[in-house]
């Protein structure tokens, strides 16, 4: 959005009322969009806004148009602008009308969106603002009896299944404790203990929780944990310890739980039992090398004393993976460097397999920033090899990115005896995995100076950049043929690949024309192949269109090819429904919605879905 400069804003502030009015008239004179925005946004009364929202909602509800995956985002953005946001704006002026309309829209949401592909999740923003309008309209009625407002809320919540009691955490201040307490009691009377306990925790009702604890009504470990946190917040750490000990008596395995141990240690510290707390920290850390126990130990122990050596020894005795993770958490990168450099590759590979790839990528980047380029490079090379070993093409893009980082981090380390030279390392990888044809095009796209052809692998670092403009159409053609020999490419995808090889667009066009003429490059053939592939997977037309468009084909061409497909989509949707859920026609809203969402995800239209469910 373009905004005014400070100077322009100051000039505007200095203008008189009459001048500003004249400017507004000039702006809307021949601009219908500006006039509509001015009137709808600033000049309508609350009653007029309500009427406009009702009219727009009714118009949308009558529409038979289908909104596919790509249209849905714009559809819900427009609903948010024309319906949800205006409703929030009048919630305080016309609370009862805004409440009634927002509830109607929420409860009719399934019916209202029957012709919309909601699989992208864009509906959530619109729905959340509707919920906000409802809550704000209820807030404006807080002078009424809390019981009547609570009853309204409970009636809707019983019929609505998109949000649980956690939503009340967001609106606790807005609604107030009295209303939420009545709702809690309604849940309890309905024997919905889990919901009643959840709301009691939100409103911090220790008396109710104490009663439920005494009656043995806690139905999940989180109820104990949340109750203990509230007790310690209320400076009742002795009661917190009693609750935790009671939980341990009922379930001896709870002592394996990190949260239970953390709360138990915190309660011991609050009670002044620091020696017991320290001993429990050591015991818990020995079982699970979680850094939280180290920090709790330092809280209970002497100040200005380094307690990390004892914990580092425990972590090292446990294994390389916990040692590396703990050392990283306390920022001892020198120890990580020494550990990894001193471990044989086979042992290192076995140990690092227990650490997630995302964690290792972050650790590698951090080590590089702290000057440990050698170790950072080794970690990236491990990630390259591990991703390739998965033998699944979805991991190969990660392998290519990690290889690029390994080359970047290893720059200047070519003479290091423990680190293989880049070209030699790439050649070794190629010899081991050259049959993985989906891998090497990704590698060549990502790594400058790398090429793979009939003669094998070649790597010249950044030297390739020096001859970019010199590549002839024949060389581009030969390179394209080697790529197409491994798999089919869309013309747009191949154009992007060749653009990385040369800046000469004319040579690229010549090579592409020759490929098309020889029949090597054919978008129609590739799209037909992809459609057949997705039909075999029982994907519907919307999902197929989405998947193929992501590969760089135009929407017009994809739709044109889909129209030629001889497939009974209605029968396919029915078969898919029966194979997944059986042939029983369900009437329960929750189960029906589950089936609708699944078929939407598979790419079928609402017409096809309702036919399949009937």
The DSSP result for 153-172, as a single string, is HHHHHHH--S--TTHHHHTH
Which of left, alpha, beta for 32 (phi over 0: left; psi -120 to 50: alpha)? Answer: alpha
Q: What pLDDT is attached to residue 463?
A: 46
pLDDT for the residue 282: 96
Q: Which residues pair with 456 in a beta bridge?
A: 453
Task: Say how far apart CA 586 and CA 610 lie, in whole Å.
Answer: 12
- Helix or strand run (H / E) with residue 453: strand 450-453
Closest residue by Cα to residue 288 from 240, 242, 325: 325
**Residue 313 DSSP label:** H
Q: What is the pLDDT of residue 336?
A: 94
Contacts of 579 (CB under 8 A, 6+ apart): none
Residue 586 neighbours by CB under 8 Å, 6+ apart: 592, 595, 613
DSSP state letters, 359-393: HHHHHHHHHHHTT-HHHHHHHHHHHHHHHHHT--G
pLDDT tens figures, 336-383: 999 998 888 888 888 898 999 999 999 999 998 888 888 999 999 999
For the entire predicted model, the pTM comes to: 0.66
Structure tokens, 152: 């309204």
User: Rounded distance, CA 95 to CA 346, Å?
Assistant: 68
The pLDDT value given to residue 421: 82
How far apart, in whole angstroms, are the C-alpha atoms of residue 271 and residue 51? 61
Each as own residue / partner, the long-range contacts of residues 194-199 (CB below 8 Å, 24 or more positions apart, any chain) are: 194/219, 194/220, 195/164, 195/165, 197/223, 198/164, 198/165, 198/166, 199/165, 199/168
Residue 466: per-residue pLDDT:
44
Partners of residue 453 on adjacent β-strands: 456
- CA dist 210 and 206 (Å) reads 6
- Backbone angles phi and psi of 459, in degrees to 5: -140, 125
The pLDDT assigned to 417 comes to 58
Domain ranges of the chain: 40-141, 143-215, 522-567, 569-613
Pick the CATH number of 569-613 from 2.40.50, 1.10.10, 1.20.140, 3.40.50: 1.10.10
Quote the pLDDT of residue 422.
85
For residue 578, give the 3-state DSSP assignment: helix
Report d(CA 201, CA 187) in Å as an integer.
Answer: 14
- Look at the block and give the residue holding tokens 């953005």: 77
Of 449, 448, 450, nearest to 440 by C-alpha is 450
**DSSP for residue 585:** P
The DSSP bridge pattern shows strands 450-453 and 456-459 to be antiparallel
Identify the pLDDT of residue 456. Answer: 85
What is the enclosing helix (H) or strand (E) of 459?
A: strand 456-459
Collapsed DSSP state (helix, strand, coil) of residue 67: strand
- Across the chain, which has 614 residues, the per-10-residue mean pLDDT values are 78 89 85 78 85 94 89 92 93 94 93 90 91 94 91 88 82 93 95 94 96 94 95 94 93 87 95 94 94 94 86 95 95 92 87 92 91 90 92 89 91 63 88 90 90 84 50 83 79 77 82 87 88 89 84 81 88 90 82 85 87 86
At residue 491, the 3 state secondary structure works out as helix
């Amino acid at each position: 959005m373009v905004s005014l400069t400070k100077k322009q804003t100051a000039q505007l502030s200095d203008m008189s009322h009459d001048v500003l009015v004249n400017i507004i008239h000039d702006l809307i004179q021949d601009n219908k969009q500006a006039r509509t925005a001015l009137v709808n946004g600033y000049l309508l009364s609350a009653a007029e806004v309500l009427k406009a929202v009702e009219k727009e909602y009714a118009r949308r509800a009558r529409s038979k148009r289908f909104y596919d995956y790509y249209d849905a985002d714009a559809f819900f953005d427009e609903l948010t602008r024309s319906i949800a946001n205006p409703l929030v704006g009048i919630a305080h002026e016309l609370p009862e009308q805004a409440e009634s309309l927002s509830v109607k829209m929420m409860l009719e949401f399934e019916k209202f969106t029957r012709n919309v592909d909601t699989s992208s999740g864009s509906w959530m923003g619109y729905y959340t603002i509707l919920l906000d309008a409802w809550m704000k309209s209820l807030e404006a009625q807080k002078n009424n009896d809390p019981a009547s407002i609570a009853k309204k809320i409970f009636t809707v919540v019983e019929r609505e299944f998109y949000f649980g009691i956690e939503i009340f955490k967001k609106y606790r201040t807005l609604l107030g404790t009295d209303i939420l307490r009545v709702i809690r009691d309604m849940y309890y009377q309905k024997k919905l203990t889990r919901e009643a306990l959840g709301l009691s925790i939100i409103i911090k009702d220790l008396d109710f929780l104490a009663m439920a604890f005494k009656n043995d009504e806690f139905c999940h470990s989180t109820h104990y944990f949340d109750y203990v946190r509230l007790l310690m917040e209320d400076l009742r750490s002795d009661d917190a310890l009693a609750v935790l000990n009671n939980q341990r008596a009922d379930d001896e395995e709870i002592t394996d739980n990190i949260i239970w141990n953390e709360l138990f240690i915190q309660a011991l510290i609050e009670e002044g039992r620091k020696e017991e707390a320290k001993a429990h920290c050591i015991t818990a850390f020995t079982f699970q090398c979680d850094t939280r126990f180290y920090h709790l130990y330092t809280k209970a122990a002497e100040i200005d004393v380094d307690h990390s050596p004892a914990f580092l020894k425990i972590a090292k005795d446990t294994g390389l993976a916990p040692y590396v993770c703990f050392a990283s958490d306390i920022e001892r990168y020198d120890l990580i460097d020494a550990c990894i450099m001193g471990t044989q590759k086979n042992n290192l590979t076995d140990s690092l397999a227990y650490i997630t790839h995302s964690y290792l990528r972050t650790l590698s980047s951090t080590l590089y920033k702290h000057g440990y380029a050698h170790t950072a490079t080794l970690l990236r090379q491990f990630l390259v090899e591990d991703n390739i070993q998965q033998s699944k093409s979805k991991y190969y893009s990660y392998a290519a990115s990690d290889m690029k980082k390994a080359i970047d981090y290893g720059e200047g380390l070519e003479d290091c005896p423990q680190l293989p030279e880049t070209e030699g390392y790439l050649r070794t990888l190629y010899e081991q995995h050259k049959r993985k044809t989906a891998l090497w095009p990704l590698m060549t796209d990502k790594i400058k100076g790398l090429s793979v052809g009939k003669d094998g692998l070649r790597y010249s670092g950044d030297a390739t950049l020096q001859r970019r403009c010199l590549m002839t159409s024949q060389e581009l053609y030969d390179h394209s043929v080697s790529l197409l020999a491994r798999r089919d490419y869309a013309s747009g995808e191949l154009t992007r690949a060749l653009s990385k090889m040369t800046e000469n667009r004319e040579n690229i066009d010549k090579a592409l024309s020759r490929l098309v003429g020889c029949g090597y490059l054919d978008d129609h053939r590739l799209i037909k192949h992809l459609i057949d592939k997705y039909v075999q997977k029982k994907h519907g037309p919307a999902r197929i269109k989405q998947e193929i468009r992501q590969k760089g084909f135009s929407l017009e061409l994809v739709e044109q090819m889909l129209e030629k497909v001889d497939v009974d989509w209605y029968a396919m949707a029915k078969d898919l429904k029966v194979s997944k859920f059986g042939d029983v026609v369900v009437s329960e809203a929750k189960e029906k919605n589950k089936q609708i969402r699944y078929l939407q995800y598979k790419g079928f239209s609402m017409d096809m879905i309702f036919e399949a469910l009937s």
